[in-house]
């Protein structure tokens, strides 16, 4: 079955990689064809929740009212209030350190304008503009989803990489993640899998092993 073939390819990529002093990620490299990426509408820019998770800790920060801060305390890694927006604006150096350590931001929708005006120059170029949620809403569910979410962004390049797990995850879990990523990406392309020239799986610093389209369920 295709799933078994994909798991074997992932196992080969992991076994061929040298041992490192850090936990390597597993990446999916995708090469597209017959896609005009000079038109931004044709570029891949997706956030995909991996069914088996990222395999590593994902840090989430929340900007919210006192009510939301209480709700977010048990699920978010950082919790900030409206008063912190002006504080970070005055001390961009400290804020940049936080931004570099946070994967995703969430904010109450009524704070978004202030965040954009005061902190957009730091957040925007890093692709970390907060996800808005209604005032008072419990952010736990969106935080839980973001902790297993990856970005797939081609920009104007036909080759791009998507993290799909870590070296210590079961190959079958990584295979399920890859299948979910490819289903989402091909679903956005005009010709589906026919717009995919080739796919490879590799650890962060390891050898790339090719995946055939038939290996994807």
pLDDT of 84 > 90? The answer is yes
In contact, 162 and 183? CB cutoff 8 Å: no
Q: Name the region of 34 (left: φ>0; alpha: ψ -120 to 50; beta: rest).
A: left
pLDDT digits (tens, 9 = 90+) for 180-201: 999 999 999 999 999 999 999 9
- CATH code, residues 60-146: 3.40.50.790
Q: Any idea which of 1-5, 143-147, 162-166, 170-174 has the lowest mean pLDDT?
A: 1-5
5: tokens are 């073939």
Q: Give the model's pLDDT for residue 217.
A: 67
66: tokens are 């006192």
Backbone angles phi, psi at 125, to 5 degrees: -60, -20
Q: What angle do CA 153, 159, 44 make, to 5 degrees?
A: 30
pLDDT digits (tens, 9 = 90+) for 8-40: 999 999 998 778 777 889 999 999 999 999 998
* pLDDT band for position 1 (cuts 50, 70, 90): very low
**CATH C-level class of 2-55+150-215:** alpha beta
In contact, 63 and 108? CB cutoff 8 Å: yes
* pLDDT band for position 3 (cuts 50, 70, 90): low
154: tokens are 């081609």
Longest dimension (CA), the chain: 57
pLDDT of 178 > 80? The answer is yes
Q: What is the DSSP string of 128-193?
A: -PPEEE-TT---HHHHHHHTTEEEEE-TT-SEEEEEEEETTS-HHHHHHHHHHHHHHHHHHSTTGG
pLDDT of 2 > 60? The answer is no
Question: Domain segments of the chain: what residues?
Answer: 2-55+150-215, 60-146
pLDDT of 216 > 90? The answer is no
Residue among 150, 152, 96 nearest 119 (CA): 96
C-alpha distances in Å from residue 36, one per residue of 32, 33, 47, 195: 10, 9, 21, 11
């Amino acid at each position: 079955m295709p799933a078994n073939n994909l798991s074997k390819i992932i196992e080969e990529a992991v076994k061929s990689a040298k041992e490192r002093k850090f936990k390597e990620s597993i990446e999916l490299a995708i090469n597209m064809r017959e896609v005009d990426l000079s038109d931004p509408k044709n570029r891949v820019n997706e956030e995909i929740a991996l069914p088996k998770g990222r395999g590593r800790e994902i840090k989430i920060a929340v900007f919210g009212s006192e009510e939301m801060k209480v709700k977010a305390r048990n699920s978010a890694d950082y919790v900030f209030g409206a008063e912190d927006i002006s504080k970070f604006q005055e001390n961009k150096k400290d804020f940049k350190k936080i931004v570099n350590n946070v994967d995703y931001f969430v904010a109450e929708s009524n704070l978004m304008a202030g965040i954009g005006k005061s902190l957009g120059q730091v957040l925007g170029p890093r692709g970390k503009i907060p996800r808005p949620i209604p005032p008072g809403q419990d952010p736990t569910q969106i935080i839980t989803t973001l902790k297993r979410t990856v970005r797939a962004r081609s920009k104007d390049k036909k080759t791009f990489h998507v993290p799909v797990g870590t070296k210590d995850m079961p190959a079958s879990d990584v295979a399920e993640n890859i299948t979910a990523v490819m289903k989402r990406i091909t679903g956005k392309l005009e010709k589906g899998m026919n717009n995919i020239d080739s796919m490879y799986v590799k650890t962060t610093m390891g050898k790339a092993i090719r995946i055939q389209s038939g290996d994807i369920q």
